[in-house]
Structure 1
Amino acid sequence: MDHLNRLFVRRSLGYVRVASISPALRVADVDYNVDQIALALKQAQAQGVQLAIFPELCITAYSCADLFYQRRLLDAAIEGLRRIAEESARLSISCVVGLPLVVRGRLYNCAALVSAGRIVGIVPKTYLPTTGEFYEQRWFTPGDRSLPPTLELAGQPVALGIDLLFVAEEMPACVVGIEICEDLWAVEPPSGRLALAGATLLVNPSASNELLGKADYRRDLVRQQSARCLAAYLYAGAGNGESTTDVVYGGHCLIAENGQLLAESERFQLDTQMIVADVDIERLEHERLKNSPFSQASNVAGLRCIPFSLALTEQPAAPLVNRPLSRTPFVPADPARRAEHCREIFNIQTMGLVKRLHHTGASRVTLGISGGLDSTLALLVCVRAFDRLGLNRTDIMAITMPGFGTTVRTRNNAERLAQELGVTLRTIPIAASVRQHFQDIGHDEAVHDVTYENAQARERTQILMDVANQIGGLVVGTGDLSEAALGWMTFNGDHMSMYHVNAGVPKTLVRYLVSWCAEEVFTGAIADVLRDIVETPITPELLPLKDDEQLAQKTEETIGPYELHDFFLFQVVRHQFAPLKVFFLARQVFAGVYDDKTILHWLEVFYRRFFAQQFKRSSMPDGPKVGSVALSPRGDWRMPSDASSALWTAQLAWLSERIS
């Protein structure tokens, strides 16, 4: 483990490593079951797990039936719990296990949280299924508020009740709430109230048997409850060793977080099954801060907060972050899901423009086409919108405006695409008018500075606006979300339009959208042109070509790789992560692609430009939001244009010292 990884101990970044475990058990053999649980805890601790969850009634097994009336079994269960508590102290790991427990002459189906050698608290099951193959009310009493608040167990005072929240002393934002199996299937699961009261990590020891189609339903239930509660949800199902007299238990284990499935076990296995993942408590806190139902929640008083010790290692275990991470968070890795996303986004863009055209009564548009990705996508959206409205494609005025840096390849692609799509193509060279402008303002054309570049961008925008006035149409913008984040646009140049169809689409996704259009929407020569555009280097074409007519300017050589910047954008805006955490995640997912200094350099560029260029976003035109990250000043991102970046750059400087 390198010295930087030692700085990134998971606790400082808001992660908790958890495990959901379905051990191989024997019905009513408490000693064997406890041995299997202890062995699984040892294996989990070796993987850096801090909290593990086991199935419902795992100390005795769930399917003991009338053996639950046997005093010998009930006493053995308490002794087994005491042994597990001792094991938790030896291994420095917390866990939730299930057992039957007699309280004031009534038998309860309970889950116990054990930590640092202590039985911290016990939660009884609220909803007892007594239908079909389930018959729990024969043996157990539902948990309610008539229970005593504490009881003596294994020589310790232990909190008892359905009103318990367990707060990690070392990470107060990690609050554990417990419900048991059927509780999740209820109309109002206890986890909802627990989450509103502060539980960020919900656990469910379960003994749900397997039936045709039930696994899919169970998976969706867990995932959706984690989303509804803005929480992590751990589910551990009973498995091998339970009685198969009438049903079979598959050992289904699931870990979900805010609607995302982080890990899932393989069912119907003979040995102990364990899944491990890092849940991001910091992310969940952020989601709740933004969610109004949490701030408006009522009827959450009366729950008791019970402290417990969450084992925190000083050395991070490998992998450093054990959860699904993507280099391209805006682009699904699965081709089918990616195609579905592209279809949905293209429809959103299209309907946004359809509504704007219908509202204004406009039946004509102008847009600049360069043969690049962004203008190509905008043109395709225009074509689809006109088709939906029954308008003539010839009323789409596609204008190519060759300048000092225009290449033959991009110009040919722009012209061919316009012709094949059947839109009106106009070619208006800008070199002469820009040179006249240089003469008017006294700028030396040989000085290729920001004035040189921006004069061309503003000339193109002026042409588009004036032609739109000529034909009585709208100017459709072409810039994308990544350019807005970085301010990679000329203020009052390509920054401006009358409707901005690409405003919500990041650069890494633009490429896939154009590729998807080539595969699913268009065919023949149009698809061929689109494929070539996808392969063309990204460039604003504002600097003169080299002597060999090759590009002298490539965007990613100037501002950095878009795959990095889009990754930064997602973490900074979607999750509000600090620079340290963004860098930490980037170095893990881009390991072997970019070294630490390269990642940090472009992260510094991202933060510098993101803060400095807010004034452009504050005056950006209308455009449709297509995903969870958007920068419209009227909706998702409201930031002062003169906000200081000092706090963020200070953390980057701290990182820089340690890298060098």
Structure 2
Amino acid sequence: MGRKVTLATCTLNQWALDFEGNLQRILQSIKIAKERGARYRLGPELEICGYGCSDHFFESDTILHSFQVLVKLLESPVTTDIICDVGMPVMHKNVRYNCRVIFLNKKILLIRPKTVMANAGNYRELRWFTPWNKLREVEVHFLPRTIQDITGQDTVPFGDAVLATKDTCLGSEICEELWAPNSPHIDMGLDGVEIFTNASGSHHELRKAHLRVDLVKSTTTKNGGIYLLSNLRGCDSDRLYFDGCAMISINGDIVAQGVQFSLQNVEVLTATLDLEDVRSYRAHTSSRCISASRVTPFHRVHVDFSLSSFDDVYTPTSEPIQWKYHSPEEEISLGPACWLWDYLRRSKQGGFLLPLSGGVDSSAVACIVYSMCRLVCQAVDMGNEEVLCDVRHIVCDESYMTTTPNELCNRLLTTCYMATENSSAETRERARMLSQEIGSYHLTPIIDTAVKAVICIFTSVTGKVPQFRVHGGTGQENLALQNVQARLRMVMAYLFAQLSLWTRGLPGGLLVLGSANVDESLRGYLTKYDCSSADINPIGGISKTDLRRFIGYAIDTFRLRALTSILSAPPTAELEPLTDGHVSQTDEEDMGMTYDELSVYGKLRKVVKTGPYSMFCKLLLMWRTVAPRQVAEKVKYFFRMYSINRHKMTTLTPAYHAESYSPDDNRFDLRPFLYNASWAWQFRCIDEQAGLLQLL
């Protein structure tokens, strides 16, 4: 009868400029789609070259090599008898566009450029690409000669068009277009497009998955139709982790859900759906029919091909499913772990070194690495040969077989508790116990000799002996003595990272992991070039509040009992002398604000986009039990500390992006780093308003 279609959407772990690897993963996904009976295959955004090419998009080589990959795809027998929809940059009339290239049986059907650019937060698409502004218009695009030789086509349609097969009509969206208020699918659906496709490059952010699902479901609820969403997976090349979540929806229901976090490089999602379900769903809504009768039509590219088979009456269709979401704690456990795995295997290093202090932050990083080891072992147990091959390359043993996460953790993670005379026995023991439970290779160097040597050099030059505040020193001396310890820990971390495998008779070096959370970075509560300086930081975009919840999750899920005492202990830097052998310094006291307050400040500053005065006004309502004068002082203190420490963000370790208020400089947060920290005008407005309210 020709009414049921089988469609495929993919999640691919692509890598910027890895044309060879990207090609193989694309071909593998097409092969799987065909084996499952699909006659249309959708891939993620810019899958040929990788989404994260950034300024490499300016280079003609990137477009040249993308077309070379397209040649291989067109020539491959794998791509016959299936409509293939791939993403790559294309130059049209000397303008660079982010495009979908849709082809069938060695013929390019359409090149469809992106119309709405992602240009906020982590995205800078307008830097490299121009949006196609000629809506519903199609131009002639002259193909490179290498493509002409294969397709026999000199030109192909380029622009805002849809595909009309013998049995249905398909229309493309590209990532950001789904999020726009005037998404193309609205008018496409009114013009009779029954299948919408969206090639995405959408990154993971805590609590974000439901937004994608709601958008797709609402699209097909209002308009009817079938919606396919593809997405990238993995660390494409930078701070972002693309988290998959491919999906297929029909008439407001989800019928197929992809995995959000996985070490699998290629995932193909398929569904068989009845086109008549779309037609009957749309026809019974009078208001939609009236709107459809007056919509301006799209240019249709006619395709001599059917997505359905003639006799499909007994073909079963996909049933609606309930979407399964991860909790934020699970997201922290899985997302950064997958990101670390990609970074490790692609950097060709032998593992990680983590300065483990016995506090929540560094312990959370240790747990994330342990989670990564669990994921690797699970993948190997399920027969993932690619993961096993990567493990063997990392440990430099072609016969290596994973046994337990703890054993693998011993090979991949070295933890290092760097003690001074200001370190407590409690934190040392907490670090040791956690290391023992996860299996890391643990070191406990004492660095007092190095600290004293540095101070001795200073004294020999100046004749001055700085003292801690408790010994009668000034605040300036106190801070300098703390910073010496912190910075020497960074130096020692890199020394051990380079040589600790050598001492064990093993080849390679280690990547140093940082453990400064997003709130400490926002406040600037870290020493520049201390252990916050590392190769990568898996928790640099995660709040202290979420990290504490994650530790609670790890206690129950990973059965790491050592975390119980770590969670209950007050956060401390342990850089000042002990009092009767116990810690007297706490982070929140040093910062002059709580971590919960910092999370509120961060969201108001970045997400809500408030300056000092607007933040004061917002907090008056949020903190009704706090006097206006107190709110004013809290806001002013935050902005003073934020502005005088903003320069530290220019050297922040590349961190996994997870929170919507990350202070990451020149990537996600484009604020200056040199401020007039007095904020004279702004603070005067706050004080005047607080004074008026105090009189009421």
* TM-score, length-scaled by structure 2: 0.45
Indicate the structure (1 or 2) with the bigger Cα radius of gyration.
1
